[in-house]
Amino acid sequence: MKLDKYLDRSLWVFHLNTGSCNGCDIEIVALLTPRYDVERFGIKLVGSPKHADVLLVTGPVNRKMLPRLKLIYEQTPDPKAVIVVGTCGSSGGVFYDSYNIVGPVDKHIPVDVYVPGCPIRPEAIINGVLKAWLKLERLRGSSGVEIEKKIEEVNA
């Protein structure tokens, strides 16, 4: 896989928990460890949204985290992609009818990729990040035809 040729920079990811059950969050950490090891693709978890290309959001968004979610979205520099990891962030999931939940995430910030599952498998998150990478390529100005050609080359 010649992935890095097209990533003029590696994808750096910031992880934001908006009140999740932690299940998806530990799977995100599991991604970094030897079994899945996304760092071999250059994907790295960073400690500040200002360094990130991709925002990984977990959790159904509770009242207290809502202003922080918006703030962090604004702090992430453009071009950026937002991935919602887990069912509870995509639709509310088991937490759909609580007084303190104001989600799902796409009610408040634009979302590019949804990774459903409760909890998701680590492979699914890798797939989600790949989808986000395509979106970033498009934002950087690659045309649809170019991207398709690149995908073909990657798959070849």
Residue 24 interacting with other proteins (CB under 8 A) = yes
Which residues are registered as beta bridge partners of 14?
A: 55
Query: Which tokens go with 55?
Result: 């925002």
Q: Which is nearer to ligand SF4, 125 or 136 (CB)?
A: 125
Of the residues 11, 13, 20, 112, which one makes contact with other proteins according to CB under 8 A: 20
Residue 75 interacting with other proteins (CB under 8 A) = no
Residue 92 interacting with other proteins (CB under 8 A) = no
Residue 92 interacting with ligand SF4 (CB under 6 A) = no
Residue 22 interacting with other proteins (CB under 8 A) = yes
Three-point CA angle 115, 136, 89, nearest 5°: 25
Contacting range for other proteins; rule: CB under 8 A; set: 5-13, 76-84, 117-125, 133-141: 117-125
Query: Which tokens go with 77?
Result: 């520099």
Picked from other proteins, ligand SF4, none, the partner binding residue 100 (CB below 5 to 8 A depending on kind) is other proteins
What's the rounded Cα separation, in Å, for the pair 85 and 62? 16
Residue the block writes with tokens 């887990």: 86
For the chain, what's the residue count?
Answer: 156
Of the residues 73, 95, 114, 133, which one makes contact with other proteins according to CB under 8 A: 95
Picked from ligand SF4, other proteins, none, the partner binding residue 87 (CB below 5 to 8 A depending on kind) is ligand SF4
Side-by-side strand order, sheet with 44-45: 44-45, 12-17, 54-58, 81-85, 113-115
Q: Which is nearer to other proteins, 55 or 134 (CB)?
A: 55
Residue 122 interacting with ligand SF4 (CB under 6 A) = no
Tell how far CA 74 is from the center of its chain.
15
What's the rounded Cα separation, in Å, for the pair 63 and 10? 33
What's the rounded Cα separation, in Å, for the pair 154 and 136? 16
The footprint of ligand SF4 (CB under 6 A) covers 20-21, 23-24, 58-59, 86-88, 93-94, 118-119
